């Protein structure tokens, strides 16, 4: 019997929402990966990390991780946005493959420079665009590929919430390096999904607003993308939506498909669920999206969400040399579109996407 290779050792930077709820559980559930170290300076989070992952080292400073870089194979950056690039660059300098939470960088220029550095050093780099593995996104992609909708005319996608009270934290900070606000936080998912479904964008129009009293960053935004193939993507992201719209609506010249409600995986992870549990990522039949035309609609089973596929592909890339799950250049293109959306909102104009 062939020897089973030793698991790849992972260092996780940050144990807030991203680190604790998303990355750590997914890493722990992925065959071939082992969560070796968690870095957080917060004493309460240190205690929680030790409870959640008793076999992992818990460190209070990233410098201690770099001192033991030879004992690691992969670093995951799940720290606040302003630290994504410096932490990822430190990992690249140490010769360690790196996963960076979205957005890759606060500016496209910083993201491109990081990619260039990783390429120069021959270090694998990818970005955690986990919403590519949402069940509704997978279902929409399948229906489009199978021609169920005919020629797609318009794509509508929403990440809407009702959170009228401002919460403390860096996401509500107006400092440019924080990349705070709804457009960066939620738009990084919506824009990426739209481009994955319908390809490059030729123009952008956006409305970006601060609706809550005392808000320092945008909390209500609309972005319209015109894709080079002719599809129009209309994207909403908001913290002040008292009545939620459809999560997704795809309209074609033959039929439409509409789905309500967010993917179930985040809530499952928050509740302590793991992707190796039976029924992971499945939604109940009453939440299936509807396909057809008014008067002739039928439910279509939603594909099970598969966040675990991201880290399975990371492990395969490091073991076998297959591609990383997300090309970091896609993440830079998303930041470029978000930057253009902010400029469009400031000017009140439709702006063309510069040729590359």
Percent helix, strand and coil across the chain, each rounded to 5? 40, 25, 40
Judge contact between 253 and 153, C-beta under 8 A: yes
Q: What does pTM read for this prediction? A: 0.94
Closest by Cα among 324, 22, 317, 356 to 189:
22
Q: What is the mean pLDDT of residues 159-168?
A: 87
Q: Are residues 249 and 192 in the same domain?
A: yes
CA-to-CA separations, 77 to 11, 16, 90, 321, in angstroms, rounded: 9, 11, 10, 21
The per-residue pLDDT of the chain, averaged, comes to: 95
Q: How far apart are CA 59 and CA 63, in angstroms?
A: 9
Q: Is the pLDDT confidence value at 2 over 60?
A: no
What pLDDT is stored for residue 122 in this prediction?
A: 97
What does the alpha-carbon distance between residue 241 and residue 243 come to, in Å, rounded to a whole number? 5
Instruction: Specify if 321 maps to a domain.
Output: no
Domain match, 70 and 166 both:
no
Domain count along the chain: 2
Tell me which residue range forms the domain holding 110.
8-128
pLDDT for position 20: 96
Mean pLDDT of 287-301: 98
CATH number at residue 55: 3.40.50.720
pLDDT band for position 170 (cuts 50, 70, 90): low
48 within a domain of the structure (yes/no): yes
């Amino acid at each position: 019997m062939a020897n089973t290779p030793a698991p790849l050792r992972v260092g996780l930077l940050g144990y807030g929402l991203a680190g604790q709820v998303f990355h750590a559980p997914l890493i722990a559930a992925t065959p071939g990966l082992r969560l070796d170290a968690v870095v957080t300076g917060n004493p309460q989070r240190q205690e929680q990390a030790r409870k959640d992952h008793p076999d992992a080292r818990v460190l209070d400073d990233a410098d201690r991780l770099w001192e033991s870089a030879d004992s690691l194979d992969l670093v995951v950056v799940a720290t606040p946005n302003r630290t994504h690039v410096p932490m990822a660059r430190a990992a690249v300098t140490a010769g360690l493959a790196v996963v960076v939470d979205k957005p890759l960088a606060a500016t496209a220029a910083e993201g491109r420079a990081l990619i260039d550095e990783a390429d120069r050093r021959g270090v694998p780099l990818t970005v955690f665009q986990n919403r590519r593995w949402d069940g509704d996104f997978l279902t929409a992609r399948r229906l489009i590929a199978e021609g169920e909708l005919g020629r797609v005319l318009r794509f509508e996608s929403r990440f809407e919430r009702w959170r009228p009270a401002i919460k403390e934290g860096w996401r509500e900070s107006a400092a440019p390096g924080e990349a705070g606000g709804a457009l960066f936080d939620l738009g990084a998912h919506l824009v990426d999904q739209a481009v994955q479904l319908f390809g490059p964008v030729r123009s952008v129009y956006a409305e970006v607003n601060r609706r809550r009293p005392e808000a320092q960053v945008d909390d209500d935004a609309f972005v319209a993308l015109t894709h080079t193939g002719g599809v129009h993507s209309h994207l909403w992201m908001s913290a002040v939506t008292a009545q939620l719209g459809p999560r997704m609506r795809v309209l074609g010249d033959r039929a439409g498909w509409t789905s309500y409600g967010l993917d179930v995986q985040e809530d499952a992870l928050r509740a302590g669920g793991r992707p190796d549990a039976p029924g992971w990522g499945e939604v109940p039949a009453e939440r299936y999206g509807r396909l057809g035309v008014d008067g002739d609609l039928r439910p279509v089973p939603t594909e099970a969400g598969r966040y675990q596929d991201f880290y399975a592909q990371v492990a395969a890339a490091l073991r076998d040399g297959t591609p990383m799950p997300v090309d970091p250049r896609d993440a830079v293109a998303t930041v470029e579109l978000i930057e253009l959306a902010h400029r469009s909102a400031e000017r009140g104009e439709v702006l063309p996407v510069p040729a590359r």
